[in-house]
Structure 1
Amino acid sequence: MVSSDLKIGVYFSANDVVYDWAIAFLNSFRQFNPDLRLILIPFNDRCERLLQLKEEYNFEVYIDPSFDRLEAIGQAFELGHTPTGPYWFRRYAAFWGPCDRFMYLDVRQVILSDLTPLIMALDRFNFDFLHYDCALDQVYEPGEFRQQLLRQGKGRGFNSGRWAARKELFSIEEFEKLAADALKIREQLNPRNTDQAFINYCCDLKPIVCGHFAEVMGNTCQNGWARQPGHVYHQDGKYYLWDYGGIDHKKQVILIHWAGYKWENFFPQKFLLLSFFTKDRNYLASISIYVKLIVVSLPKLLITILISQRKINSFYHLQKPQAR
């Protein structure tokens, strides 16, 4: 039985650097979730433009004294690849925020569904934590620790940009203790994806019940990355994936994310992203955005296609200056 007294909501993290991404995210979120509580965890102090959107998109701002302690954890894991990496750890303050059941989302994605059923699936199916895309190499390096997890039926390697959980599943004190243990095997964790490796480690080491949204709920795409095979189509107010012969053929698309992509580049499903970015803009303003995309991005796209060829790509990387 799911209690009607539960406070549910969605946290997201962003700043002015990803302002355009945030506009597309917020437009898509409110289209499918007009009344769902939405709470911003500021990525850092550079949020002046973003905060001006509070009333338009009806979101709150969550500031917590634990941000400094979470950033300290992030700094301890940083190997110099991602200068802003420690700020990514602020998202984990959601575990002691105002929502009893919640979902966390990065803004480099668009939301294509009502998210309440995903959040309530925690209680409906008796899970502590539900995640989305999985890529084990993006979390753990090959080695003994990874092998131990796999032998125990753990080590899913889920993405840290979209997940749901129960409040107080972790505390800041518990995170600090787990971090101290994880740092002892830092070489067996992904060197770049610091916050992703950390939350996976925490979920793998603590005896909690984890699951994948698609596996738990059914009729849902396993992955949300824009580069996945197939074609996203709209039907009866919902989005689905057409990938004839694929495991997710005709299943519902909950979200599409562009982790690893830059806004100014041309990338898969960009026209879908722009449809939400230009939502409610006048016709001429929208057309100018699409024209600029074609003029600026098409040459880059052709170059990308060219250098992606195996022999050309190998030569290209041989000529690049090596990091010292």
Structure 2
Amino acid sequence: MTRGIYIVANDRVLDNAITLLNSIRLYDKEVPIFLIPFNDDYQNVANTLSGLHNVQVFPNVEFVDTFTKRIGEIFPRDFLALPNKMRKLVVWFGPLDEFIYIDTDIIVFEKIADNLDKLSEVDFFCCDYHHKSEGLRNIFSPFVREQHIFSEEQLQDVFNSGFWASRKGVITEQQMEDSLRECSMHKEYFDFSQGVTDQPILNYLVLKHIAKRCNLVRLPGGETGSWAGSRHFQEKDYVLYDQGKKLKYLHWAGTPIKPGGSYWKLWEHYRYLHEERLPLLQRLFRR
């Protein structure tokens, strides 16, 4: 059985991708990591991450391209803001038997692949407080609750699409095709008001097809928060803590990564973890 990590990236997010991989490899030198190209402009990020951290390109890029084309055929042109974000859904058909998907605007503070042990009990897990802080916002419209598309218990399992895990084959290609078609006929189910793309559709897929799922923050003992918009985390030795408990990861979802922004110096530390520190103006010019 092969376990590992998937990311989606192109050359535009090179700095973020390096930062994420620097943090992952700090704790885990061996875990397989695959890059799913966001579009055709990925050679620089692929070569850089391969050289630095032995990241491999998803072995069937043709399948990814075909999947993207299929998305364009299934969904009306004005349905999805950034259709290529849907490429992360190919993780269920890739080389890894068990996997964690991680957005590139994240850094981790532990050997993150060890969390895959939870898949001995469930077929999917996430680790965030979206259900508590955001409710259905950026996922489903009130219509879904009003029309009982999902039960109240199911709706408690909504999640942010930046960090989650599952296993190969839990969703089949036919189930994926059928569900995407269902989604394309019911735009009224979803909340795209703030420009999200994949998150509503991914939530629909998981709630519909994966009964054995959990959110790690809802287990006894729980987990810390993870959103970079939360300013109360304490830093020690370039690791964040929430009331003395170490964060699993930090996610800048919807929060700009920039000088003066949330946890900028921490991001900068991991970005240049293996490089000589550059003068600030030179670093800014590079970006």
TM-score category, normalised to shorter length: 0.7 to 0.9
Q: Mark the structure with the bigger radius of gyration.
A: 1
For the Cα contact (< 8 Å) 1:78–1:86, is it kept in 2?
no
User: 2:86 — aligned with what?
Assistant: 89
**How far has the Cα of 1:290 moved from its partner?**
7.5
User: 2:212 — aligned with what?
Assistant: 209
Distance 1:207 1:45, change over 3 A: closer
User: 2:187 — aligned with what?
Assistant: 186
* Residue 62 of structure 1 pairs with residue 58 of structure 2: yes
Query: For residues 49 and 271 of structure 1, what CA distance do their matches in structure 2 show?
Result: 25
Query: For residues 177 and 276 of structure 1, what CA distance do their matches in structure 2 show?
Result: 41
Number of equivalences: 273
Q: How does 1:141-290 map to 2 (within 5 A)?
A: 141-145=141-145, 148=148, 151-155=151-155, 156-191=157-192, 192-216=195-219, 218=221, 220-221=223-224, 223-234=225-236, 239-242=239-242, 249-264=243-258, 266-283=260-277, 285=278, 288-289=279-280
Distance 1:73 1:189, change over 3 A: farther
Secondary structure of the 1:28 match is helix
Query: For residues 112 and 149 of structure 1, what CA distance do their matches in structure 2 show?
Result: 37
For the Cα contact (< 8 Å) 2:170–2:210, is it kept in 1?
no
Instruction: Report the RMSD for the aligned CA atoms in angstroms.
Output: 2.5
| Runs of 4+ with deviation above 6 angstroms | 290-293
Aligned AA for 2:280?
I
Query: For residues 119 and 149 of structure 1, what CA distance do their matches in structure 2 show?
Result: 30
Query: For residues 144 and 46 of structure 1, what CA distance do their matches in structure 2 show?
Result: 37
CA shift digits 1:100-152 (9 cap, x unpaired): 111001111111111122111111xx111001222321101112446625634
More relative contact order, 1 or 2 (CA 8 Å, 6+ apart): 2
**How far has the Cα of 1:10 moved from its partner?**
0.5
Structure 1 unaligned spans of 5+: 1-5, 243-248, 294-324
**How far has the Cα of 1:73 moved from its partner?**
5.5
**How far has the Cα of 1:239 moved from its partner?**
3.6
**How far has the Cα of 1:35 moved from its partner?**
1.4
For the Cα contact (< 8 Å) 2:257–2:264, is it kept in 1?
no
Aligned AA for 2:267?
L
Aligned AA for 2:83?
P
User: 1:127 — aligned with what?
Assistant: 122
**How far has the Cα of 1:91 moved from its partner?**
1.2
Query: For residues 71 and 186 of structure 1, what CA distance do their matches in structure 2 show?
Result: 19
TM-score of the superposition, structure 1-length normalised?
0.76
Secondary structure of the 1:153 match is helix
Secondary structure of the 1:143 match is helix
Query: For residues 152 and 223 of structure 2, what CA distance do their matches in structure 1 show?
Result: 26
